[in-house]
Amino acid sequence: MTGSADWLWYLIGFLLVIGPLIFIHELGHYFVARAFGVKAEVFSIGFGREIGGWTDRRGTRWKLCWLPIGGYVRFAGDMSPASEPTKEWLSLPPEERARTFQAKPLWQRFLIVLAGPMTNIAFAVLVLSGFVLAYGAPRTPPVVDMVKPGSAAEAAGIQRGDRILSVAGTEVHVFEDIAPLVILHPNEPLLVRFERGGQPQELTITPRPTTEEDKFGNQFRKGMLGIGPGERPEFAPVPVLQVVPTAIGQTWRIITLSLEGVGQILTGKRSLQELGGPLKIAKFSGEQTSQGPISYISFVALISINLGFINLLPIPLLDGGHLLFYMIEGIRRKPMRPEAQEWAFRTGLAALLALMVFVTLNDLASFGLWSKLGGLIG
């Protein structure tokens, strides 16, 4: 596929990935709110004009809108960005007011907001549990079988047969544990502990930056030690009672990688150019969807984890921003002043819009748009 056919497939893939995840996210808010007796007025997938929908017996309007790149659930009583009681809310009959979001105690409002991102993370754990149950978990011994000539490992003195014990202070149990500890640290010295001939030793190794390209032409910059295991990775069945804990561990590793990546961008260790936005997500979605159901499901789980993680960041307008205000309210025993919350939400909106513009420009640059326009102008 080329040209417009590619972009059509990217759009389809994007909708197949983002649509279900937004639905799952909002369902988390919805079900916890319903458990606490809060009435949901609207459950929307997408923004803008309604394409179709229905109203259930609880009075909730379920609808699909023409711009399906987001969604929301609106609860009765949650009528301002700061969840500030309005005159309309104060004038409601007591029994109706009791079913509003604003009427609920702080801990219930906190759990309702927390439920969205945690449902995304729980969904990913469920998917990964299915993979662990079906295919087992990596069990490749962390023993070096190959040292790439000219690599950082060879330069540091790593030899075939060395058993890696830890990287940068983090224990290594299987060979597959090594890469996540290295890829985000090109040109950064890392302390590697290993065992050679039964004797513990340690070396400082600086992973060398390398750029890899996948079959779709996407390039990824990462650090590499230049070591490998045997010819084939080993997978072993996991006892049923260990399936979910194993999936939780895999999910946590993905979250810690995301946290580390964000931290490196904020501290200047990684370029802002590496940030991707909706266009790049659409491209990856289409590519992974085209690879079949396993690739699609794996990618959905990865995006679900990141969607949950991003929404937990303490940024106003995101769920994490609301949770931050609720924590402050719990400490102060009273909410922040409405003016302060309103200012914070306006600032958060401006920051998110600026970030969206920036990552979209980044995406367009990665697609070569600016160079093509420069060629046309020149």
| pLDDT tens column, 134-181 | 999 888 899 999 999 999 999 999 999 999 999 999 999 999 899 888
Q: Is the pLDDT of residue 361 over 70?
A: no
- Full 3-state SS string of the chain: CCCHHHHHHHHHHHHHHHHHHHHHHHHHHHHHHHHCCCCEEEEEEEEEEEEEEEECCCCCEEEEEEEEEEEEEEECCCCCCCCCCCHHHHCCCHHHHCCCHHHCCHHHHHHHHHHHHHHHHHHHHHHHHHHHHHHCEECCCCECCEECCCCHHHHHCCCCCCEEEEECCEECCCHHHHHHHHCCCCCCCEEEEEEECCEEEEEEECCEEEEEECCCCCEEEEEECCEECCCCCCEECCCHHHHHHHHHHHHHHHHHHHHHHHHHHHCCCCCHHHCCCHHHHHHHHHHHHHCCHHHHHHHHHHHHHHHHHHHCCCCCCCHHHHHHHHHHHHHHCCCCCHHHHHHHHHHHHHHHHHHHHHHHHHHHHHCCHHHHHHHHHC
- At 216, the pLDDT band (50, 70, 90 cuts) reads low
pLDDT of residue 370: 41
DSSP H or E segment with residue 42: strand 40-55
Of 239-243, 314-318, 363-367, least confident by mean pLDDT is: 363-367
- At 66, the pLDDT band (50, 70, 90 cuts) reads confident
Widest CA span of the chain, in angstroms?
79
Tell me the CA end-to-end span of the chain in Å, nearest whole number.
29
Of 57-71, 163-177, 258-272, 303-317, least confident by mean pLDDT is: 258-272
Question: Is the distance from CB of 197 to CB of 207 less than 8 angstroms?
Answer: no
pLDDT of residue 378: 43
Looking at per-residue pLDDT, the higher value among 118 and 236 belongs to 118
Q: Which tokens is 73 given?
A: 């659930």
pLDDT of residue 369: 45
- At 372, the pLDDT band (50, 70, 90 cuts) reads very low
pLDDT of residue 86: 63
Looking at per-residue pLDDT, the higher value among 318 and 264 belongs to 318
- At 349, the pLDDT band (50, 70, 90 cuts) reads confident
Question: Is the distance from CB of 209 to CB of 186 less than 8 angstroms?
Answer: yes
pLDDT of residue 373: 43
Instruction: State how far the alpha carbon of 69 is from the alpha carbons of 11, 17, 48, 62, 65, in Å.
Output: 11, 10, 10, 16, 9
pLDDT of residue 374: 43
* For range 176-198, the mean pLDDT: 91
Question: Is the distance from CB of 235 to CB of 138 less than 8 angstroms?
Answer: yes
106 phi and psi angles, rounded to 5 deg: -55, -45
> What's the CA gap between 80 and 325, in Å, rounded?
14
DSSP H or E segment with residue 271: none
Q: Which tokens is 223 given?
A: 């650090």
Q: Which CATH superfamily is domain 138-236 in?
A: PDZ domain (2.30.42.10)
pLDDT of residue 321: 87
pLDDT of residue 362: 60
Question: Is the distance from CB of 189 to CB of 205 less than 8 angstroms?
Answer: yes
- At 281, the pLDDT band (50, 70, 90 cuts) reads confident
- At 90, the pLDDT band (50, 70, 90 cuts) reads low
pLDDT of residue 11: 77
Of 113-122, 187-196, 226-235, least confident by mean pLDDT is: 226-235
Q: Where in the chain is the domain with CATH 2.30.42.10?
A: 138-236
**Number of Cα atoms under 13 Å in the Cβ half of residue 163:** 12
Estimate to the nearest angstrom the gap between the alpha carbon of 56 and the chain centroid. 32
- At 358, the pLDDT band (50, 70, 90 cuts) reads low
Of 300-304, 328-332, 362-366, least confident by mean pLDDT is: 362-366
The residues carrying an active-site annotation are 26
Average pLDDT over the chain, rounded to an integer:
82
- At 191, the pLDDT band (50, 70, 90 cuts) reads very high
CB atoms within 10 A of CB 193: 17
> What's the CA gap between 77 and 86, in Å, rounded?
8
